[in-house]
Amino acid sequence: MTAPPLAAEPPIAPERTFALVVGIESYEINTGLDLSGPARDAVRFADWLTGTAGVPQDNLRLLLSPLAGNQAGTAAKPATGKNVMDALFEDLPRCDGDLLWIYWAGHGFLDPQHQLLLPYADATAGATTPLNLTSALHWWRSSRVRRGRFRHLVAIGDACRIDTRQAKLDFVKVEYPVGLPTPQREQFVLYAARPGETARNLTELQAGLFTDTLLKRLEDRSAAEAVRDLVGIAQAVQGDFAMMKANGTAWQEPQFEIARSWDGSPLYGDHWTDSTAPVGAPALDHTAWKELGQVLTGCQTPSYTYEAYRWAFEVTGCVPPAEHKLPSPHLTEIVRDLDHRQGTSRAVPLALPFIQHLASRSRRPEWAADAQAWVDRTLERLGADPLPPAPPQPAERPALHIRLTPDGDDDFWLQLWSYQDRFENVGDYEEPMGLAAVRTVLGNHLLAHRASMPQRIEFHVPYELLEEPFETWQVPTGRGDRTTPLGCRYEVVLRCPEERLGLAEDPWRTKWEWYETHGGRHPDAVHEVGDADVAEGLADELQLDASPVCVLADVTGPLVMDALGAVLDGGIPIAVWPRSSPAPDESLRKALGAEEPDVLDVAALPDALRRLRVKRRPLALLWDDPGRVPARRSLSS
């Protein structure tokens, strides 16, 4: 059974969603159990539910017991045993809902049967009465809840899962009487830690590390999106902790389970796949690591590394991380990350397709042979399934490059090159000409070379010509006197390689290399600039790091050229800006169909803007690839 759980049709409406949110910092048992953070975490989770997720305030049951100095300023009942029991077993079951969220932040302990016990704020040391969450979930999956209500339940526990004997408390045995099983109800349980692990609390931030990480994955999602994407969200959180554990900032490993059957058998667990079968992919052994160390010695991260990383998940049927980013800039650490993410549906360690992809694209034949030999030896020794060939590198689209070099007032020297795999000069004009003449020459050239029609037209221009709307130039179609806007038939991009001199050249090349290595969907790839951002220090800010590589310049007319000047000085190779003032209440990101939290794919911008131009949306694109600049030819030769 591999279909994503909780994928209800139609999506669960916010008004049919209810929640119990509990945060306990202060315990009457003894002050040694007090901790700072759970109450604030509970408030933050409740704010997401009633904010972005859209759950009505009346559907929320918020129970808080904060420390004296951490009063949340939010209306809530204390998290006593009576208030929890009343909400969970009396009040909420009477509500007519489809989905129940249970969020609990505080201490947690496992009894000998591995049931999760959560002490109440008013529990006493002599007879500590907890909420038995495991038993409560059985109760909610039975006929104790009216048929047809609460088809789904999501429980999230930001609590430790350590043995009760470590608590030195006398827990009262608690189990709730269940009715007949109702197996059609689905439950998703996400724990902050594995059995035996403690959940880290960041006292200085008054936050649990788990909740803080989870909310970053939830913050922009509606209730329907969160339910639909629960598996991906949980796996992304696991990935976040895997990386934090690798760098020493975390020690716990979140775990999730989904149960549809009465006996509670999990369809999913703490693995990186939706497979119900045992994990089949072996990890790299000592021999593999030793040999790989020799293969990777002295290797730089190539431009297609992210593509190889993503393909490793695709070819093994493994769920990729939610964020489109590499876990490290170093190849060995990327392999270590992949090796940690086992749990594939095919018995292939993720590291093997990654290295195979790198080898297939390498321009160093000897290294490629060594790397592929390592893959083959490791596959055979580990008894892993064979791998298909890596996908070939996509053919580059044919392009026509147009260089305009100023000559005096309003005239320009014109040179044309075609490009597909290599540059070929197709036009050097002996006399300078105005832009109207350039447009005529271009239209005639396109008609005369229909057999080798380019898909992209790249204008290499000085800074001042970035204001010229080349994409709206009318060119002949060849049918009578009819013309069409250039940008509706071709990808039209602007270039300024002659402006990339001096201090701007190094960041330009560095940023383009980062873009090729990390891909165009990386969360740090794009930087948005508004009118208020166009200031003297903008260029310095943009060049500070290898990212961003693309600027969305949401600026009004008078500030466009100032923003583009900062883009060039800051080394930014890619930029989008409006030819006229943006439409009211519509950002460039929205116009491009990538409103938060949707990811903007930088690589798709040339085609995306062509499609928008067909709809008469006037957007301009700077696309300055330092590896695609034709050699300068003498204009007098």
> Average pLDDT in the 373-395 region?
90
State the Cα–Cα distance between residues 325 and 238, nearest whole angstrom: 15
Torsion over CA: 480, 481, 484, 486 (sign): positive
Contacts of 58 (CB under 8 A, 6+ apart): none
State the Cα–Cα distance between residues 136 and 381, nearest whole angstrom: 47
Would you give the DSSP letter of residue 197? P
pLDDT band at 261 (very low <50, low <70, confident <90, very high): very low
Nearest residue to 151 via CA among 7, 268, 2? 7
Token pair in block for residue 260 = 């549809």
Nearest residue to 530 via CA among 604, 581, 593? 581
Burial of 169 (0-12, 13-18, 19+ CB in 10 A): buried
Position with higher pLDDT, 486 vs 11: 486
Which neighbouring-strand residues pair with 186? 152
38 pLDDT higher than 50: yes
Break the chain down into helix, strand, coil percent, rounded to 5: 35, 20, 45
> Average pLDDT in the 208-220 region?
91
Token pair in block for residue 2 = 């591999």
Nearest residue to 435 via CA among 473, 399, 484, 478? 473
pLDDT band at 271 (very low <50, low <70, confident <90, very high): very low
pLDDT band at 267 (very low <50, low <70, confident <90, very high): very low
pLDDT band at 623 (very low <50, low <70, confident <90, very high): very high
Which neighbouring-strand residues pair with 526? 550
pLDDT in tens, 497-527: 999 988 899 999 999 999 999 989 898 999 9
Residue 309 region, left (φ>0) first, then alpha (ψ -120 to 50), else beta? alpha
8 pLDDT higher than 60: no
Nearest residue to 572 via CA among 532, 545, 592, 608? 545
Residue reference for tokens 């109702």: 182
pLDDT band at 487 (very low <50, low <70, confident <90, very high): very high
> Average pLDDT in the 319-343 region?
79
- Give the model's pLDDT for residue 145: 92
Position with higher pLDDT, 277 vs 494: 494
At position 506, the amino acid (one-letter code) is: D
- Give the model's pLDDT for residue 162: 82
pLDDT in tens, 429-443: 989 999 999 999 999
pLDDT-above-70 percentage for the chain: 89
277 pLDDT higher than 60: no
CB count, 10 Å around CB of 98?
18
Position with higher pLDDT, 42 vs 222: 42
Average pLDDT of the chain is 86
Q: Which of 85-99, 232-246, 419-433 has the least mean pLDDT?
A: 232-246
Nearest residue to 272 via CA among 344, 333, 334? 344
Position with higher pLDDT, 65 vs 196: 65
- Give the model's pLDDT for residue 495: 96
Token pair in block for residue 505 = 């050249």
The helix (H) or strand (E) run that includes residue 368 is helix 365-382
pLDDT in tens, 463-485: 999 999 999 999 999 888 899 99
111 pLDDT higher than 60: yes
pLDDT band at 634 (very low <50, low <70, confident <90, very high): low
Contacts of 282 (CB under 8 A, 6+ apart): 342, 347, 349, 382, 383, 384
At position 341, the amino acid (one-letter code) is: R
- Give the model's pLDDT for residue 411: 93
- Give the model's pLDDT for residue 605: 95
pLDDT in tens, 574-602: 999 998 755 556 788 888 887 665 678 99
265 pLDDT higher than 80: no
State the Cα–Cα distance between residues 59 and 75, nearest whole angstrom: 14
Residue 421 region, left (φ>0) first, then alpha (ψ -120 to 50), else beta? left
pLDDT band at 625 (very low <50, low <70, confident <90, very high): very high
pTM higher than 0.85 for the full model? no
Position with higher pLDDT, 281 vs 6: 281
DSSP per position, 85-135: HIIIIIIGGGS--SEEEEEEES--EE-TT--EEEE-TT--SSSB-EEEHHH
Using DSSP's 3-state secondary structure scheme, residue 633 falls into coil
100 pLDDT higher than 90: yes
Position with higher pLDDT, 343 vs 35: 35
Position with higher pLDDT, 127 vs 437: 437
In this structure, what are the phi and psi dihedrals at residue 608, rounded to the nearest 5 degrees?
A: -60, -40
> Average pLDDT in the 89-110 region?
94
State the Cα–Cα distance between residues 476 and 483, nearest whole angstrom: 4
pLDDT band at 278 (very low <50, low <70, confident <90, very high): very low
- Give the model's pLDDT for residue 412: 95
Beta strand 474-476 with 60-65: parallel, antiparallel or unpaired?
unpaired
State the Cα–Cα distance between residues 538 and 248, nearest whole angstrom: 35
pLDDT in tens, 543-579: 999 999 999 999 988 899 999 999 999 999 999 999 8
- Give the model's pLDDT for residue 342: 54
Count how many Cα atoms sit within 13 Å of the Cα of residue 498 in the half-sphere of its side chain: 16
